[in-house]
Amino acid sequence: MNILFGLVVAVVATTITVAAMLVVRRRAPEGSYFTDGDRASGVFGVLATGFSILLGFIIFLGFTSYDESRSGAETEATVVAQQVQTAQFLPDAGAELTGELICYARYVAGPEWDALASGELGDQINPWGAEMFLTISTVDPKSAVEQSAYDRWMDQTSDREQARIARVHGAEGIIPVPLWLALFAISAVIFAYLLFFADPGEGRVPQGMLMGSATVVITLLLQLLMFFNHPHGDGVGRLHPIAMERSLRVIDIQAEAVGLDVTAPCDDHGNAR
State how far the Cα of 154 lies from the Cα of 136, in Å rounded to an integer.
9
Q: Which of 101, 90, 85, 78 is nearest to 150 (CA)?
A: 90
Confidence at 257, pLDDT banded by 50, 70, 90? confident
Local structure of 201: helix, strand or coil: coil
Q: Taking 60 as the threshold, does the pLDDT of residue 1 lie above it?
A: no
Is residue 198 within 8 A of residue 24, CB to CB? The reply is yes
Q: CB neighbours of 84 closer than 8 A, spacing ≥ 6?
A: 98, 101, 102, 251, 254, 255
Radius of gyration over alpha carbons of the chain, in Å?
27
Adjacent-strand bridge partners of 266: 272
pLDDT in tens, 55-105: 888 888 888 888 999 999 999 999 999 999 999 998 878 889 999 999 999
H runs (alpha helix) in 108-203:
113-118, 127-136, 144-168, 177-195
Residue whose C-alpha is closest to residue 145's, from 92, 101, 95: 92
pLDDT one-digit tens code per residue, 209-236: 989 999 999 999 999 888 888 888 777 7
pLDDT at 32: 83
pTM: 0.82
Q: Mean pLDDT across the stretch 175-204?
A: 89
Please, what's the largest Cα pairwise distance for the chain? 92
State the Cα–Cα distance between residues 112 and 107, nearest whole angstrom. 6
Which run of H or E residues covers position 242?
helix 242-257
3-state helix, strand, coil in the chain (%, to 5): 70, 0, 25
Could you report the per-residue pLDDT of 168-188, keeping only the tens digit for each?
887 667 788 888 999 999 999
Indicate the domain borders of the chain: 69-172+241-273
Predicted local distance difference test score (pLDDT) of residue 192:
92
